[in-house]
Amino acid sequence: MKSSTLFSGFQNALLYKIVSTVLFFISSTLVFRYFGPELRGEIAILLAPILLSQIALFDGGTKVQDFLSKDIRLASDSNHSSIWSSFFIKATSGVILATILAVSGPEIADYYGLQEKRHIYELASILFLTHFLCGPVDLNVLQALKRYSAMKIFGIIESTGPLFAILACWAADGSVVFYIYMYILMRLILAPYSLFLLAQLGLYRYLSRIRKDEIIKILLFTGPLWFAALLAHASSQIVPLLSGIFFQLATIGNISLALGVGLMAVSIISLADGFALPKLNENRKKNTSADRAHCCYLLRYWQALFYTSALLAIGTFVFSDVLVLIIGGSSYTEAGDILRWLALLVAVKPLGVLRTIIYTGESTSRIASLTAMRFSAEIVLLCLCFKFLGSLGLGIALATAFLVYGSKILILISRLSGLFSPILIRLFCHQLGLAVFLSIMAVLHFYSPSLALISSVAGILFMMIIISAKQRIIKKLLLS
């Protein structure tokens, strides 16, 4: 099998995700055990504006992937300059965001009572820009060029940054401020390999081909997608800022641990989700009935993601206390209960793959409007759940907002492909049923932890039997 096949992409991406997960566990364990709940709460609040700035960097990856896939199909390189055009836009947005960070960061620190650490944003805004020394090569570019082996290595190296940051902090007996500086600076660990790939792929020669119209195309097409991605990923950093209004620093530290583990499970599903669009485009070229091919394949893809999410969600629920104990120790016991409810978000995450059909059928502005609706729902629900349910409301709020988002996309797709409405509704009910099952288990855990554990393990065994029966179908899905 050629290394450029989509199945090879899955294998390499899965491998680097496994390695990055292991590295995440190691680095998280060191961070949470080194700082303790209160100091980890400080880090969560102080890092939030920096990570929000990182998320807000303008990313033209979707349009670049489209340009490069056309080049590969036509055996040309006329659109390879889009890599540099996208990088130019991203670097420009980085300068703007670094300026905003330097101005607004100290105000945020003051608001949360961390006045003694407000000075960190002066140097942090400068360190924030050092990442651009790594050049334009990223995971999107490598995936588009079908350099899956390089993508695997790139992802693994990128995952080592947080580990080296905390190791440096341990070695120097550093403070919270020192750790934050190292966390930002360690993104430069990618520079040697990234620049090597830049030379190996011969991408330097396309720098002179940058055109104004290409930059405008990327801006117009990916503008709504960038906005949608910003809102989609911003909630992970909005959570510490909102929780700072309702809870003490120790509780924020527990929320940070639970959210980190929960989002790690979500990222595994998102990884497979990211391969849906190129695969749909491949199928479109093979089938005369494009709309039918799109929806048929999407339904099978969704089914495969559902099985994955079921195992991950139930596994997260069952092993929540164990994961928290390993990573944070006995001082983070509250995080176990929070993580159990966060399993709901893992359960409904596959609904996100449905947005793929909108990429191919409607303007990207529809994606932006749907994500804005989801983000607004997250903010409102987080405030309400934090107010009335405490920290346990985190998972309920995020999962409910995502469920509303997925339902809206489901309705849109049903209108586009009425023939498949019954199948769509049935799969949605499966997804909803999993979330309800986990909710019942979470409530049951308060009264009888052993009964909840037995029921959840039975759920895992049942899903493994189902997946085993469907294994041939899933493999055919990836290879077809």
Q: What is the pLDDT of residue 96?
A: 92
Q: How far apart are the first and last CA of the chain?
A: 13
Q: How many Cα atoms within 13 Å fall on the side-chain side of residue 265? A: 29
Give the pLDDT score at 297: 62
What does the pLDDT read at residue 253? 93
Average pLDDT, the chain: 80
Residue (of 263, 243, 262, 245) closest to 253 by Cα position: 243
Distance set, CA 471 to CA 106, 274, 366, 477 (Å): 53, 21, 34, 10
CA distance linking residue 396 with residue 105, whole number of Å: 30
Minimum mean pLDDT range among 46-50, 244-248, 367-371: 367-371
More confidently predicted of 357 and 130: 130
| pLDDT tier at 2, thresholds 50, 70, 90 | very low
Q: Could you read off the pLDDT of 162-186 as tens digits, one per residue? A: 999 999 999 998 899 999 999 888 8
Q: Record the tokens describing residue 249, joined without a space.
A: 């620093």
H/E run at residue 24: helix 6-55
Confidence of residue 14 (pLDDT cuts 50, 70, 90): confident
pLDDT of residue 295: 59
3-state secondary structure the chain: CCCCCHHHHHHHHHHHHHHHHHHHHHHHHHHHHHHHHHHHHHHHHHHHHHHHHHHCCCCCHHHHHHHHHHHHHHCCCCCCCHHHHHHHHHHHHHHHHHHHHHHHHHHHHHHCCCHHHCCHHHHHHHHHHHHHHHCCCCHHHHHHCCCHHHHHHHHHHHHCHHHHHHHHHHHHCCCHHHHHHHHHHHHHHHHHHHHHHHHHCCHHHHHHHCCHHHHHHHHHHHHHHHHHHHHHHHHHHHHHHHHHHHCCHHHHHHHHHHHHHHHHHHHHHHHHHCCHHHHHHHHHHHCCCHHHHHHHHHHHHHHHHHHHHHHHHHHHHHCHHHHHHHHHCHHHCHHHHHHHHHHHHHHHHHHHHHHHHHHHHCCHHHHHHHHHHHHHHHHHHHHHHHHHHHHHHHHHHHHHHHHHHHHHHHHHHHHHCHHHHHHHHHHHHHHHHHHHHHHHHHHHHHHCHHHHHHHHHHHHHHHHHHHHHHHHHHHHHHHC
Q: Which is higher by pLDDT, 18 or 293?
A: 18
Residue 322 exposed, middle or buried by CB count within 10 Å (0-12, 13-18, 19+): exposed
Residue 96 or residue 355, greater confidence: 96
Rounded mean pLDDT of 273-298?
A: 53
What pLDDT, on a 0 to 100 scale, did the predictor assign at position 43?
A: 93
Amino acid in position 308:
T
Residue 46's pLDDT is 92
pLDDT, tens only, 416-434: 655 556 667 777 777 788 7
Q: Is the pLDDT of residue 20 over 80?
A: yes
Would the pLDDT of 400 be above 70? yes
Greatest mean pLDDT among 113-127, 147-161, 242-256, 310-324: 242-256
Q: pLDDT band for position 290 (50/70/90)?
A: very low
Q: Which residue has the higher pLDDT, 443 or 290?
A: 443
Instruction: Specify the DSSP element, H or E, that contains 110.
Output: helix 82-111
pLDDT of residue 62: 63
* pLDDT value of position 202: 84
From the CA atom positions of the chain, what is the Rg in Å? Answer: 22
Backbone angles phi, psi at 346, to 5 degrees: -60, -40
pLDDT tens-digit readout, 223-257: 777 887 788 788 888 999 999 999 999 999 999 99
Percent of the chain with pLDDT over 90: 22
pLDDT at 280 over 60: no
Contacts of 50 (CB under 8 A, 6+ apart): 101, 105, 121, 124, 128, 180, 184
Range from 304-308, 388-392, 454-458 carrying the lowest mean pLDDT: 454-458
Tell me the whole-structure pTM to 2 decimals: 0.83
